[in-house]
Amino acid sequence: MHQPLVAISTDVRQFDNYTWHAAPQQYLEAAVAGAGVFPLLVPSFGDRLDFDELLSSVDGVMVTGSKSNVHPSLYGGDASEANGPYDPARDATTLPLIRRAIERGVPLLAICRGIQELNVALGGTLGTEIQEREGSLDHRAPVSDKQDERFAIHQTISIKPGSCLAGVFGAGEIKVNSLHRQAIDRLGSKLEIEAVATDGTVEAVSVKGARAFAVGVQWHPEYWVNSDSNSAKIFRAFGDAVRLHAAAKAGSRAAAE
């Protein structure tokens, strides 16, 4: 089966006396098994990269989750150590890549840190340590050494009727996992809310008037893509959008020849 290329964000980490640009395997597995695409890791070199050249070569962009947080200086927040850790090289890469992908109509799926990057890229702000807010649920991962327990599906969210994700899941409630301590505060002007948790926390957004699939989710569908139907649905929808974009590009090239 043809596998269109999808650009995948990377974290910058120090390991074994080397600097690594890497992504967790669970996102790459979900890209291959769930979306049916070829994941291409994009090093976090910021404006040293030609994003237009990249986006001419790929048919989708996936922005992954991470232990690091978007640097608060990018949205007027508190840049304290408590709100870290940070990865400024990733910020300098993902934010302009997100904006350019939207402008060019390249399908976009942003997960966890990714939805927060999407919001900041489009002028929004983030709330930190949201479990401390009055009336808020604790959205952090359950305390456990076992990943299956940390990523357990246990939280109810409501999908907005008539939204992009209503076309994926149907309107109403679904169950997801939750492993975050930050969330969208002020919504970016070009975004609309797709889903919320029972405490009102924004759980999914889409880009208004987007030329292609452009969605961010706060939960982690990548972890259960092979066993949970809702996790599989969102990757299938993204993969379908990527293949549609690839077909349109191929058609344009053929017409020009």
41 neighbors 31 (Cβ within 8 angstroms): no
What does the alpha-carbon distance between residue 59 and residue 96 come to, in Å, rounded to a whole number?
17
What does the alpha-carbon distance between residue 119 and residue 201 come to, in Å, rounded to a whole number?
14
What does the alpha-carbon distance between residue 194 and residue 48 come to, in Å, rounded to a whole number?
34
Mean pLDDT over 117-122 rounds to 98
Mean pLDDT over 229-240 rounds to 98
What does the alpha-carbon distance between residue 167 and residue 248 come to, in Å, rounded to a whole number?
22
Of residues 235, 252, 236, the one with CA closest to residue 56: 252
Paired sense of beta strands 126-128 and 18-22, if any: unpaired
Residues 6+ apart with CB under 8 A from 143: none
Question: Peptide bond before 96: cis, by omega within 30 degrees of 0?
Answer: no
The predicted-structure confidence for 65-78, as pLDDT tens digits, reads as follows: 999 999 999 999 98
50 neighbors 100 (Cβ within 8 angstroms): no
The pair of three-digit structure tokens given for residue 192, joined into one six-digit string: 């609309």
What does the alpha-carbon distance between residue 71 and residue 69 come to, in Å, rounded to a whole number?
6
Judged by average pLDDT, the poorest of 89-103, 127-141, 204-218 is: 127-141
Confidence tier at 134 by pLDDT (50, 70, 90): confident
Three-state SS for 25-64 is HHHHHHHHHHHCCEEEECCCCHHHCCHHHHHHHCCCEEEC
Q: What percent of the chain has pLDDT over 70?
A: 100
User: φ, ψ for residue 176 (rounded to 5)?
Assistant: -135, 180
pLDDT at 138 over 70: yes
57 neighbors 4 (Cβ within 8 angstroms): no
Paired sense of beta strands 11-15 and 18-22, if any: antiparallel
What does the alpha-carbon distance between residue 153 and residue 149 come to, in Å, rounded to a whole number?
9
The CATH topology of domain 3-253 is Rossmann fold (3.40.50)
Scored b (16 or more CB within 10 A) or e, 12-35 reads: beeeeeeeebebeebbbebbbebb
pLDDT at 255 over 90: no
- pTM value is 0.96
Residue 1, pLDDT score: 63
What does the alpha-carbon distance between residue 98 and residue 110 come to, in Å, rounded to a whole number?
9
Judged by average pLDDT, the poorest of 32-36, 88-92, 96-100, 252-256 is: 252-256
The predicted-structure confidence for 177-206, as pLDDT tens digits, reads as follows: 999 999 999 999 999 999 999 999 999 999
Mean pLDDT over 221-246 rounds to 98
pLDDT at 218 over 80: yes
215 neighbors 108 (Cβ within 8 angstroms): yes
Paired sense of beta strands 202-207 and 191-197, if any: antiparallel
For the chain, report the end-to-end CA distance as a whole number of angstroms. Answer: 25
Confidence tier at 210 by pLDDT (50, 70, 90): very high
The residue count of the chain comes to: 257
